Structure 1
Amino acid sequence: MQLNDQRRPSACTSILIGKKASLDGSIMIGRNEDSKASWPKHFVVHPHEDFKEDQQYVSKDNGFSTALPKVRQRYTATPEWTTKYGLFEEDGINEHNVAMSATESAYSNDTVLAADPFVPDGIQEEAMVTVVLPYVTTAREGVARLGQLLEEHGTTESNGILFADEQEAWYMETAAGHQWVAQRIPDDSYAVVANQLAIQTIDFDDPDNFMFTANLENFVRDHQLNPDPDGFNFRHIFGTRGESDETYNTPRVWIGQKLFNPEIEQSPIDEELPFIRQASRLLSVNDAEDFLSNHYEGTPYDPTGNDTVNRHRFRPISLAKTQESHILQLRPQMPKALVGVQWLAMGVAAQSNYVPFYTAITDTPTAYKRGQATYTPTSAYWIYKLASTLWDAHYRHFAKDYQQTRTNLRAQLGALLAASDVAAQKLSTTDQIAFLTTANAKAAKTALTAYQTLTSQLVTHSTDFSPLNFTTDDNL
């Protein structure tokens, strides 16, 4: 994601998984929202509303303004703790089971930006979920609506945006002021993205799998932007290359593809890693979690490891600056109210747990709507952050206990979701909504209780680590 001057510029990591690439036929999109080590997020649901008057969106961040439809669908979101700098709702699922995550920050090269500069009051990350997700009924509609807004208003930044519904997943990229392209993720494939323009070859004659700015080919030709003698590689034309990418971006794509295709030998600094891959096995929600929680475990590049030469060589996927991490799962085999599950890990993914939340609900758990800039013991965000901060103080000493809590809780939450699925399907549609809202509260309580217990253990066991200790007789 990208932020205004009041907040630290940031960078995220994303994953998209097609329905035939997943273990249970689900489509999944997910992302780490990275910004600051201390910047709380909330989890909310906006109800369906039919307005009598025309609606207007005006950004508190940069003044971007656009008209909105009178009908706003129900949708979930993870906004900032404060609206002072804008909403930054980031991710959610609407009542038609369309999922959206925005955005994956990217970078365009100077040559492209000279031809089509960014627009200071154009649409940007802060507004995208809010002005798109409540107003579309399919992933493809989401791409089209955002594309129209980009062409009409321009954008302030280069980004990647993830869309999915029960049938397909799309990855969309903005590059320069008004240029964009989107590619459908093949059903049998996955993609991982890390702050680069990722889409490669575009087939302009394949509308089923590609969408783009109407004049994209002409724009590139008229401004002589294509560095390749043949073909149209969006990444080559609009993206960046160099040492920064090889340190910051490509290694995260490399580790993701290493997780899902361990049989393929690749270099972590290879700038031609493919955008689309077919995994060597079917992927589950747990696999997506493990990717978004990864910090190069099992390699010399793990910042918690012993290799003092390489452990800070590459930027890891999971790091202290993550505000929240999410996986938006769409399960087409389920009844409509049970299709969308928003797996949400507050704080650092590697030091938190993904809690499954149904999205056909009327409210979210109270603790997930709390949390300000300073620590609050009743805030879900701060409960997870407190445990991770205590672990950081004695990382290796507490690693085993912490990981055991995470492993046990993952299994417990999975079992709760499975049991709720069975129980909900025995209810009427009206009763399902109330039941799912209650089920979310139970899942949240289970996870928060586990972390509060863990925190108690960490505090208790940390009491003897004081630098004021002195080796003495036990009685002294």
Structure 2
Amino acid sequence: MNKYSACTSIIIGKKASKDGSIMIGRNEDCKASWPKHFVIHHKKSFEKENIFKSNDNNFKIKLPLTRYKYSATPEWTTKYGVFEENGFNEFGVAMSATESAYANQQVLGYDPLVEDGIGEEAMVTVVLPYVKNAREGVQRLGDIVTKYGTCESNGILFADKNEAWYMETGSGHHWVAQRIPEDSYAVIANQLSIEEIDFNDKENYMYSEDIYDFVKNNHLIVSKDGKLNFRDTFGIRDVSDTKYNNPRVWYGQKMFNPEIKQHPTDHNLPFIRKASKLLSIDDAKSFLSSHFQETEYDPVGDGDKNTKKMFRPVSLAKTQEAHILQINPNLPMEIGCLQWIAMGVASQSVFVPFYQGINDTPEAYKNGEINYSPDSAYWIFKLAGVLVDAHYKYFVSDLEALQTKLNISIKNNMLDIENKYLGKKLDNDWLTEQNKILANKILNEYKEFSYKLISKSTDFSPLNYKQNLDL
């Protein structure tokens, strides 16, 4: 399973958001048909040993004997690895892994990727259940990369109630991480993005211990002042960036800073920006669901044929699921930490909220294999998208009306759940049941929508014939 050239990520700091929430999110892109599940792993103690061995390569690691509770979105099959991808643990730590990226051949010549090192499929599984804050998450993964090496160049997102971090692995054993400023946001699209590293600022930067000596001794630094710009030193810049990666960053920054004029093909769009307004969870959803709307580059827009297909959009058919991990520090962790999940293509699905305090997920979210099945959340959302795609211009307005209706209903239901949870001091079993009711209600709405589309689609048969009913 090769997941390169895929995901798009977003990070929003607490002072950049309307309600003080920290948000990290990502579209997980792989294949147009590759189901995901959503599960809860409960706390577990191992008596003798806890060993993880990858099905993807020969990566193997001994883990702590206590594995804390965490949520995850694994693949439908473990044949190519688990790919748990994102979740919260019982301490309210959020993790999303990974944003695939690329390192240049000069760097890799001195520190090649390690064939049996840690990769995307293992990162959440061997890190998230064993850390108690975001900074610990960065350090644990960094220590693993330093010791065992990594088989990929990636970006990894971490957050807790206090801060958000973005970490990048740039070669076999070297990595950096930057704390996202509280008043800022970042959007990332399959590029090494972190810029200049301040080695005197340990509060906001972390990195592999000897990274500066590595780049200096091997004459890899490209800046004239001798400072380490991670993007310029470890990353690449080629024509694929102008068509594939830069436009997604450009569009995110266009959404949140419309006053700044940039071009989709521009290199070196800044990693960190301050938005022109406070951002909400809906802004994060809109970005991950976007496909260059209101521009000539929208593949389902009104531009000419070549222009519409010029750039790779954010939301596309190969998205398996999209997620936003939201942490509102003003609420108890059990309801303040929300794992929003849009199964399938975000632009054709809806983000369903799941509270950190739940102890189980709906059955439909645990089902689904490679072929369509009506009892799978992934396939329920995916079917609606497939039916809309077949006659897009006729059905897209129906889809948008459904999404608007459900988003209003979701907010109303959440307010009711949260007020009752706080006011009556209800337990997590109650929270789990209420969350299941909400999630299943959304699934039923999407089922009904698909039934209606099937009925409407019958009139589009090429064997159809319009006749005068008076004959």
**TM-score of the alignment, normalized to the shorter chain, above 0.5:** yes
1:336 to 333, 338, 355: 333
1:255 aligns with 2:244: no
Which letter maps to 1:256?
A: G
- Structure 1: any 5+ residue segments left out of the alignment? none
Cα deviation for residue 306 of structure 1 reads 2.4
Cα deviation for residue 232 of structure 1 reads 1.7
DSSP-derived class of the 2:16 partner = coil
2:130 to 130, 135, 139: 135
Which letter maps to 1:349?
A: A
Matched with 1:319 is 316
CA RMSD of aligned residues (A): 1.0
Q: TM-score when scaled to structure 1?
A: 0.97
Cα deviation for residue 9 of structure 1 reads 4.1
Gap change, CA 1:292 and 1:413, over 3 Å in 2: same
Equivalent positions of 1:110-125 (< 5 A) are: 110-125=105-120
2:233 to 233, 237, 244: 237
Matched with 2:58 is 63
Cα deviation for residue 475 of structure 1 reads 5.6
Equivalent positions of 1:158-197 (< 5 A) are: 158-197=153-192
Structure 2 CA distance for aligned equivalents of residues 117 and 462 of structure 1: 53
Query: Would the aligned equivalents of 1:338 and 1:358 in 2 still touch at CA under 8 Å?
Result: yes
1:299 to 295, 298, 306: 295
Query: Would the aligned equivalents of 1:337 and 1:432 in 2 still touch at CA under 8 Å?
Result: no
Which letter maps to 1:442?
A: I
Cα deviation for residue 309 of structure 1 reads 2.6
Structure 1 CA distance for aligned equivalents of residues 46 and 469 of structure 2: 72
DSSP-derived class of the 1:121 partner = coil
Which letter maps to 1:245?
A: D
Cα deviation for residue 120 of structure 1 reads 0.4
Query: Would the aligned equivalents of 1:46 and 1:75 in 2 still touch at CA under 8 Å?
Result: yes
Structure 1 CA distance for aligned equivalents of residues 279 and 94 of structure 2: 19
Matched with 2:342 is 345
Which letter maps to 2:347?
A: A
Structure 2 CA distance for aligned equivalents of residues 372 and 416 of structure 1: 30
DSSP-derived class of the 2:162 partner = coil
Which letter maps to 1:206?
A: D
Query: Would the aligned equivalents of 2:42 and 2:69 in 1 still touch at CA under 8 Å?
Result: yes
Identity %: 56
Gap change, CA 1:381 and 1:475, over 3 Å in 2: farther
DSSP-derived class of the 1:353 partner = coil
2:388 to 387, 391, 405: 391
Matched with 1:50 is 45
Matched with 1:272 is 268
Structure 1 CA distance for aligned equivalents of residues 430 and 311 of structure 2: 45
Matched with 2:400 is 403
Matched with 2:423 is 426
Query: Would the aligned equivalents of 2:5 and 2:190 in 1 still touch at CA under 8 Å?
Result: no
Post-superposition Cα deviations, 1:161-208, rounded to whole Å, max 9, x if no partner, equal 000000000000001100100000000000000000000011000000
Of the structure 1 ranges 390-399 and 223-232, higher mean CA displacement relative to structure 2 is found in 223-232
Structure 2 CA distance for aligned equivalents of residues 444 and 207 of structure 1: 42
1:377 aligns with 2:374: yes
Cα deviation for residue 10 of structure 1 reads 4.3
DSSP-derived class of the 2:203 partner = coil
Which letter maps to 2:265?
A: I
Matched with 1:75 is 70
Structure 1 CA distance for aligned equivalents of residues 424 and 233 of structure 2: 53
Query: Would the aligned equivalents of 1:139 and 1:168 in 2 still touch at CA under 8 Å?
Result: yes
DSSP-derived class of the 1:382 partner = helix
Which letter maps to 1:240?
A: I
Structure 1 CA distance for aligned equivalents of residues 21 and 328 of structure 2: 5
Matched with 2:28 is 33
Which letter maps to 2:124?
A: V
Cα deviation for residue 450 of structure 1 reads 1.3
Structure 2 CA distance for aligned equivalents of residues 296 and 360 of structure 1: 36
Equivalent positions of 1:200-215 (< 5 A) are: 200-215=195-210
2:17 to 22, 33, 37: 22
Structure 2 CA distance for aligned equivalents of residues 207 and 117 of structure 1: 27
Aligned structure 1 segments of 4 or more residues deviating by more than 3 angstroms: none
DSSP-derived class of the 1:279 partner = coil
Which letter maps to 1:80?
A: E
Structure 1 CA distance for aligned equivalents of residues 43 and 335 of structure 2: 17
Structure 2 CA distance for aligned equivalents of residues 102 and 346 of structure 1: 17
DSSP-derived class of the 2:405 partner = helix
Post-superposition Cα deviations, 1:417-443, rounded to whole Å, max 9, x if no partner, equal 111111111344xx4211221122012
Structure 1 CA distance for aligned equivalents of residues 470 and 383 of structure 2: 33
- Structure 2: any 5+ residue segments left out of the alignment? none
1:449 aligns with 2:444: yes
DSSP-derived class of the 2:28 partner = strand
Structure 1 CA distance for aligned equivalents of residues 61 and 212 of structure 2: 27
